[in-house]
Structure 1
Amino acid sequence: MTEHTTPRSGRQLRIVSGGYEAVIASIGATLRVLRHEGRDLVVPFEADEVRPAHRGATLAPWPNRIVDGRYAFGGVERQLPLTEPTRGHALHGLLSWAEFSDRVVEDDRVVLVAVIEPSLGYPFRVEVETEYRLDADGLEQTVTARNLGSDAAPWGTGPHPYLVAGPATPGDVSVDDADAGPVDAWTLTLPASEVLTVTEDRLSPVAVHGVEQHPEWDFREPRRIGDVFIDHAFTDLDRRDGVAEVRLVTDSGQGVAMTWDERCPWVQVHTADQPGQHAIHRLGLAVEPMTCPPDAFNSGVDLVTLAPGAEHAASWRIRAL
């Protein structure tokens, strides 16, 4: 008898359109693969692999970190599980390892849904629906929250793709440099005038500064990333017709772009540093549009309050250059 088992990353949902192919894994409603004409636009992983960290996951009901896992909402203090134990924070929400159910499955579109059930740390019932849709302009993801409970709920969301501009050409990155990776050779355009500084040890938020005070993180004009370490949230985004765009390209001009509207006033960018793990070190650039900054459950900055029965939606798009 042949034994059929579900891959470790969950059920696999493949969609195609306009020269694009995407594979969504049901655990975490994760973007596992995105290709255009056979070229990877995000760092992929195998279907029967436990997803590396949060690569491609849908983040809800908060993106990024809640410091110490503690917050107060509606005058009541709450304690969340510390899912980033090395830094002592609650990281990337409550659904990144949850199984999402199918709501719609079509050739070029899938809609997945999961419900956050009340818990001591987050005593709210919120339905989270995520739609992935492909067309000739790339992949659009929309995340919609619906408050199914009787109390207002704090809410935030964002994605976690690691973008890939293209393969490094010979000489771009020294194979003898253990601190280098493909990211070093790519040119980044990040239209953000402000950066949220963080503590070095725990990446806890400190203060918002103009990027002119931190020129290493000023990518308003395109430039190579080089050996710069980035794991920061950016805001005050320059937009065209309301849309912000991050571009990541190789020297040949091929690459990838990510766009989003005002519903995401923040973006986290991370150079995927994994010192000592050369095979994955700086392998892709995490670009995470966010509806709120890190630790918004405490600061209240751009935090969405979902009234009972209310909905909130945010979306973003990845396309080939």
Structure 2
Amino acid sequence: MNEYTLRSGLYSAVVTARGAALRQLRHGERDLIVPFPEGGPIPDYRGIIAAPWPNRIADGKYMFEGVEHQLSVNETERGCALHGTVFPRDWEVKEQNSSFVALSCSLEPAPGYPFRLHLSASYHLKEDGLHTRVTATNTGAGTAPYGVCPHPYLLAGPAPLDQWTLEFPASHVLDVTPDRLLPVGLRTVDNHAFDFRAARRIGTTEIDHAFTGISFDTLGRARLLIRDPGGTGVGMSWDKSCPWLQIHTADKRPPAANRLGLAVEPMTCPPDAFNSGQDLVRLEAGATHTASWSIFAS
């Protein structure tokens, strides 16, 4: 598997051609994300780019412009099509230097997604963190449904996740079914265990939900921060192209390693958006969509 090492200041990163995935991000000797081994499989979708849809589509079925489509169901235990089709493809490197790499991937019409897209992902490591930009261009003749998100598992420090504090500016959470994690409806986070608008300890709270009602600053960015009780931390920021945020505390049943990191996924649309249409990007022929996010030590 080809991979590309980036360096800037105290930061270093490794990006793989497989899935255009972020394999490692470090600040000094400290990991900022849960890494995965060189050359091996990518577990739990760590660090991938999820496109042309983020999250899941119920039963892999959706209707678009009057035509029903059937995708492969790759999340068999929940009967869903999960995290798009550009993983585990190998992306092609287009440009590279010591602190920057750009990769691309072309989607040709296929069963379930008969649309043609060209995607590019750039990773730029600077002295203030890693900046990622994903651009999709519809190279086909008709309109295409589209969505995207990253899939890093952030690490605040060496203490267990339960001891970390978490802060992110979302006023609403999407309730989901407990068995398949499919959308039920929005509710406010007021007086709810998922209200992290002010920094507080995660504790034993289990989260695998999408949030919205996100507050963006005057520069059009939103920010999430997690901190370890030892004083280290990591943050993620993203632009208004992503009005949704999936948070997952990485809860696993034994013997799998439990709560290794916090999955933080700024999304252009919520789960099952190919069916609901909510915030779904309708990419016209020749049109381009861009989303960006950053990860930094704090």
Check whether TM > 0.5.
yes
Tell me the CA shift for residue 275 of structure 1: 1.5
Q: Which of 97, 117, 121 is the equivalent residue of 2:112?
A: 121
Counterpart code for 1:283: L
Q: Does the 8 A contact of 2:157 with 2:230 survive in 1?
A: no
Match of 1:207 in 2: 185
Match of 1:318 in 2: 295
Match of 2:5 in 1: 14
Post-superposition Cα deviations, 1:277-301, rounded to whole Å, max 9, x if no partner, equal 35x2100000000011111111111
Distance, in Å, in 1 between the alignment partners of 2:9 and 2:276 is: 42
Match of 1:143 in 2: 134
Q: Does the 8 A contact of 2:13 with 2:23 survive in 1?
A: yes
Match of 1:173 in 2: none
Distance, in Å, in 2 between the alignment partners of 1:153 and 1:271 is: 32
Match of 2:275 in 1: 298
Match of 1:34 in 2: 25
SS at match of 1:281: coil
Tell me the CA shift for residue 239 of structure 1: 2.0
SS at match of 1:197: strand
Counterpart code for 1:86: E
Counterpart code for 1:261: D
Q: Does the 8 A contact of 2:153 with 2:263 survive in 1?
A: yes
SS at match of 1:53: helix
Q: Which of 84, 88, 92 is the equivalent residue of 1:101?
A: 92
Distance, in Å, in 1 between the alignment partners of 2:224 and 2:9 is: 22
Distance, in Å, in 2 between the alignment partners of 1:318 and 1:290 is: 15
Distance, in Å, in 1 between the alignment partners of 2:158 and 2:40 is: 23
Q: How does 1:63-82 map to 2 (within 5 A)?
A: 63-82=54-73
Q: Which of 222, 235, 244 is the equivalent residue of 2:222?
A: 244
SS at match of 1:95: coil
Please tell me the root mean square deviation across aligned C-alpha atoms, in Å: 0.9
Post-superposition Cα deviations, 1:45-95, rounded to whole Å, max 9, x if no partner, equal 110221102011101000000111110111101010001000000000001
Tell me the CA shift for residue 198 of structure 1: 0.4
Distance, in Å, in 2 between the alignment partners of 1:88 and 1:188 is: 31
Tell me the CA shift for residue 15 of structure 1: 0.6
Tell me the CA shift for residue 253 of structure 1: 2.5
The two structures have a TM-score, normalised by structure 2, of: 0.98
Larger Rg over CA atoms: 1
Counterpart code for 2:103: L
Tell me the CA shift for residue 111 of structure 1: 0.3
Percent identity of the aligned residues? 52
The two structures have a TM-score, normalised by structure 1, of: 0.91
Q: How does 1:37-76 map to 2 (within 5 A)?
A: 37-76=28-67
Distance, in Å, in 2 between the alignment partners of 1:229 and 1:190 is: 16
Q: How does 1:176-255 map to 2 (within 5 A)?
A: 182-212=160-190, 215-241=192-218, 242-255=220-233
Unaligned runs of 5+ in 1: 1-9, 169-181
SS at match of 2:193: helix
Tell me the CA shift for residue 18 of structure 1: 2.1
SS at match of 2:190: helix
Unaligned runs of 5+ in 2: none
The question of 1:155 aligning with 2:132 is answered no
Distance, in Å, in 2 between the alignment partners of 1:311 and 1:68 is: 28
Match of 1:281 in 2: 258
Match of 1:176 in 2: none
Counterpart code for 2:195: D
SS at match of 1:184: helix
Match of 2:103 in 1: 112
Distance, in Å, in 1 between the alignment partners of 2:62 and 2:30 is: 42
Distance, in Å, in 1 between the alignment partners of 2:234 and 2:271 is: 25
SS at match of 1:93: coil
Structure 1 segments (4+ residues) deviating >4 Å: none
Distance, in Å, in 1 between the alignment partners of 2:99 and 2:255 is: 36
